[in-house]
Structures are given as structure tokens and as C-alpha cells.
Chains A and B, each alone.
Chain A
Amino acid sequence: MSSETGTGTGGSDRSAPGSSIHPESVRAVAKKDFQDSVRSWMFWGLSIFFFTLLVALTGVVSYFGEDLAAQDVTTEVLVVFVSEITRLVLPLIALILGWKAIAGERESGSIKILLSLPHSRKDVLLGKLIGRSAVLSLSLIVGFVLAAIIVAALLGSFDIVDYLGLLAMSILYGVAYTSIAVSLSSLTRSTTIAGAAMVGVFVLFYIVWNAITSALRLLMDRGTISGESYTVETNEGPVELERLPDWAFFIESIDPGYAYNNALSIVTGAAESDLDVQLEAVMFNGDIPFYLQDWFGFLILLFWIVVPIAVALYRFDQVDL
């Protein structure tokens, strides 16, 4: 997760006030956090939620999808349906699971118990991230595995690779938002501020990010910023169209939700429709920039896991509790 793996015990790092990371400590904190952070009904509730989501959507697909079954794409369609919902729901769950992770312990004072024991602040942050991520990831796994039997039975054809790919990317996506939540939670002593920060994150990626693209398009139409023109071959001959400049697409690609969809198409052929891919190919004259390619979505997800927690690891070492 972090590139820092200081061993701590022997080192006399008098100059650097930063703390070290002990894997044993991280494990102890993560285990404690997993036991304490969730009531058991919450864990099973999440598992049942994912299970129900998969089974219900499978039902829909199999009910309406005789054509799909004929084309052998039922699992792909299921992945698209499920990911449309998890794209919205996973951030909510992760933010709710994570918002109190550190701020709550600082506000109540229970962090004094953690830090009276020989854990560094970095151990505590990483342990919290792992503990909360485990809650989300394991409930996803339980839901997906239990549902697999029913999904396989209902769908005419069951593509295990697509299915596991969706699970894997959903875990990655959930961990990214957990990292954002835990990190923001470590920046404040007030759960009220932490809660506001979580709402802020949600608003940022669900409203502001979409608004940016719309706003840029508006500005482009008014000529404030210049777009890039491209030609589309139609039945009535070539038509000149304008698209947003490259950097606007880059901004769009940073959104974790966008990256989740993008990265899903590494593991399944489903998430991006063929139409989208063709459109992108036309817009960029067949030369699709790296940040719109599937692997970049995967990197962006990793970015959203690593960068927030790295900033928090640095910051949390500096403050008075």
C-alpha cells in the first residue's frame, strides 16, 4: 500500500519525527478494527444486499433476455447492470464505513487506548484502512459467491471470468473510496467535519465532476475554449464535429467511478459498449489517448487507494491528537 516499510526497532531516527510501520502492529489494529467497527448485522446486511442485487438483476436479465442468451452475452449484460448500481452504491457504503475511522476515535478518546499501546500512528492508519476495507471486501465476496450458484442456474450461460472480474474491480473501487474516507477522517478531530467531508466527496464526484464536463461543453459552444474538430463519415458524406480538448477527457478519466467502468473492460468485454469505443476511436482519429484506455482506469483506481492514504500517513504524524 505504502512504499514505506521502516522496521523501526533498531533504527535510531532521531532526526525524523515520522513514525515507522510494523506489519504486526498493522495486523493487530486491523483485526481489532474489524471486530469493533461493524456490528455483525451490518456485515451480513451488506453481504445480503450484494447477494440480492445480483440475484434480482439476474432475474431481470434472464426474464427479458432471450435474445441475449442466444448471443451468449448474458453475463456481460449482468455485469453492466450491476456495475451501474455498484458505481453509485459502493462509494456510499465505503464513505459510511470509513468516515468515523479516525475522527471518531479522536473525538471519543478511544484512540488513546490504541496509541498507549506500542503502535505508531502509521500502523493505526493502515490498520484502519485494512480493517474497514476488509468489511466491505469480504461482504462483497460473500454476496458474490453465494449468488454465483443462483446466477449460474438462472443465466443460460455463465462466464465466470466476467463475474470474478466484476467482483475484483468492485473490491478495488470500494477500497479506493475507503482510502479516501479513512484519510479524510484522519485530518480532523470532529466527526461533524469528517461527515461533511464525506458528503463533499460524494458531491464532488457525482455532481461537480459531471457538471465540469457539461460546463466545458457549454464554454466550448460559446467559443470560450476551443474544442478539437473531427469528421464523421455519414450517409450524406463527411460531417465536421467538435469535441472537447484532450485535457477535458483527462479530467473526466480521473473520477474513480469513471475509472471503475473503464477498468472493468479489462476483465470483461462488457462494461463499455462497443458504440462508446467506436465513438472514441472516431473522435481521436483511431488514436485513443492513454488516459481513455482500459489499463489507465486500473491505474486511476490504484492512485485513489495510494495517494489519499499516503497524504494521511504523512499528515497524521505531524498533529497533536
Chain B
Amino acid sequence: MPAIAVDGLTKSYGQTLALDDLSFRVEEGEVFGFLGPNGAGKSTTINVLLDFVRPTAGQVEVLGFDAQTRSREIRSRTGVLPEGYQTYERLTARQHLEFAMESKGVEDDPERLLERVDLVDALDKKAGGYSKGMAQRLMLAMALVGEPELLILDEPSTGLDPNGAREMREIVRQENERGATVFFSSHIMEQVEAVCDRVGILRDGEMVAVDSVEGLRDSVSEGTTLRVTVDRIDDEVLQAVRSLPDVSNAAVEDEQPPTLVVQVEGSKTAVLGELENRGVEVHDFSTAKASLDDVFRSYTTEVQAR
């Protein structure tokens, strides 16, 4: 049974189509990164999972329960870090956590939870005085109450400094090791890259790619970027490099010193060999794997570029 099964989900707000026939699955026990630029429909999807909004069409099941009719069962087994929330300013961190425990009918230790998110100093301080980062830590602690089967985290690193974001990823890893499925959305690649088993990329309400991090890297044509500094470049050399079978693209990046940027899918030595054959002297070269950021950009900007 998948932890999340979305089939043909469509949601429109009047004339605006927020989600267009979206389908994907999140398997039990995996960390799934739900990626997309702002406004792609990530929060709308999460709002449907939690029954905050009702789908226009389509079927959504979470932990085997229908998201509309069995929402209470879903939410009693799920820890949620929502987006665009506000904490209760007159309640302390302890009271927030006690409320979550009471609501879920579970026992947990507020102090231990706050230690995990590094907020234990604010245990008895009212949330009205919290910074955005502190509020985010508190919400993460609330999501962890009662060891839920599924964690749904909507832009969890919002308001966190790099250190906080790293701690958050560490908690995601720990929870996953405990056995929880984690579904989290982000518009920042590196958040996802570091912890996710699989990544789904959403653009304009449609899933444009779902794969492992490695798989996504491989799927983009610019598998490896080769940057070569040479003594001279002419059109003839450029054409020769471009015509190599493994090269998808080659361009002159710089004239002083002459630098060639080549997108290679297979052997890099073929490129260097071809250059030598033509009497071009290679001064220096470097390779770089396509970062997930490049992948993300290629998926989310492709259409506009065309």
C-alpha cells in the first residue's frame, strides 16, 4: 500500500487551474521530495491531502484512507508542518505540544521534543514572542508528536538559517530511520537532494518528472559538463567537437583564455582526443556533474526557453 496515492487530481479555483490531472505515488518508508517553483501547486496538493481544500476531480488516498471522507484517521496518523500558519501567540511551546498530544490522544514528552528541534529554552515562553525560525521549530516539534507514520512537511526550511535547515534534514533522516514516510515540499533543490529517496518535480500543476536523485541527474541530457581551456578555438574545431556522437552541445564560453564548454553524455576522453588530433593544445580541463539545481532548472524553465 502506498503512503500517498494521488490519481488524476484536478483543482481549479474559478478560472485558475491550480492542479491539472496530477498523479503520483509515495511509497511507504521513503523520503519523497516534492519540488517546484512557487505557485506550481505544491501547497494546493498538500491542502488536498489534508482535506483543507476539496478536489475538483480525482482520487486521493493517504495511508490507505480516502482523503476526503477519512481525513480524521489520516491526520491522527500523520504529523504535519503546514505552510502559512500562525502559532497561538498566547500559548507557550509546552501548551502547543500538550494540545497536539491531547488532540491525538497520545503521550509524549514536550521537553524531549523541544530538545530535538533545539527549542527547549522556549519551553514556557509564549509563542507570541517567537521569531519565524522558532515558530518553525515549534511546528516541527508538533509534527513529531506521537511518532506519526507519515510526516507531511510543507516548505519545512522556511525561516530557518542554514544550520537550522541542516538540523531539520537530520530530523527527517532520523524519522525515516524510525520507519516514518516523509513527504516534503520545497522550492530549494539542495534541501531535497540531501535527504530524498525520490523527487517529484511539479510545474504549473503538473508533475513533470518523478525519479530518484540519480535518475533525475541522468535523465537530463547535460549529464556531465566538461570545461576545457585551450590555446585556440576556431569554428572548425567547434564543429568537430559538436559532431562527436556523445556530445549534445558545445559552446565557446570565453575567448581569453579560450574556453570550451561541452555537454557530454559518454566518454570525455573522446572530446580531448579530438582536440589533440586537430592540434589544439589543452591547457586545463574540469568536469562537473549536473547538479540537481540544473535538473530542476531544466525541468521548470524548459517550456519558456523553447
Contacts and interface: CB of A to CB of B under 8 A. Distances in A.
Interface in B57-71: 66, 68-71
B52 A118 contact: no
A25 interface: yes
A8 B69 contact: no
A83 interface: no
B71 A35 contact: no
A119 B73 CA distance: 10
Given A108-B86, A112-B84, A321-B47, A117 B75 contact: yes
16 contacts: A13-B69, A14-B69, A28-B99, A28-B103, A29-B103, A32-B88, A35-B95, A112-B85, A113-B139, A115-B75, A116-B50, A118-B72, A120-B72, A318-B54, A320-B53, A321-B52
Interface residues of B, number: 38
Contacts of B52: 112, 115, 320-321
A110 B54 contact: no
B90 A116 contact: no
Interface string A159-171: 0000000000000
Interface of A: 8-9, 12-14, 16-17, 19-20, 22, 24-25, 28-29, 31-32, 35-36, 39, 108-110, 112-113, 115-120, 318, 320-321
Nearest to A37: B90
Contacts of B75: 115-119
Contacts of B70: 12
A209 B29 CA distance: 62
A108 B53 CA distance: 17
B86 A17 contact: no
A115 to B, nearest CB: 6
A8 B85 contact: no
A35 B69 CA distance: 31
A113 B102 CA distance: 13
Nearest to B74: A118
Contact of A116 (B73, B82, B105): B82
Most chain B C-beta atoms within 10 Å of own C-beta, residue among A29, A36, A112: A112
Contacts of A110: 85-88
Interface string B16-55: 0000000000000000000000000000000100111110
Given A12-B69, A118-B75, A113 B54 contact: no
Contacts of A115: 50-52, 75
A109 B86 contact: yes
B142 A35 contact: no
Contact of B99 (A17, A19, A32, A320): A32
Given A13-B69, A109-B82, A112-B84, A118 B104 contact: yes
A47 to B, nearest CB: 18
A158 B139 CA distance: 54
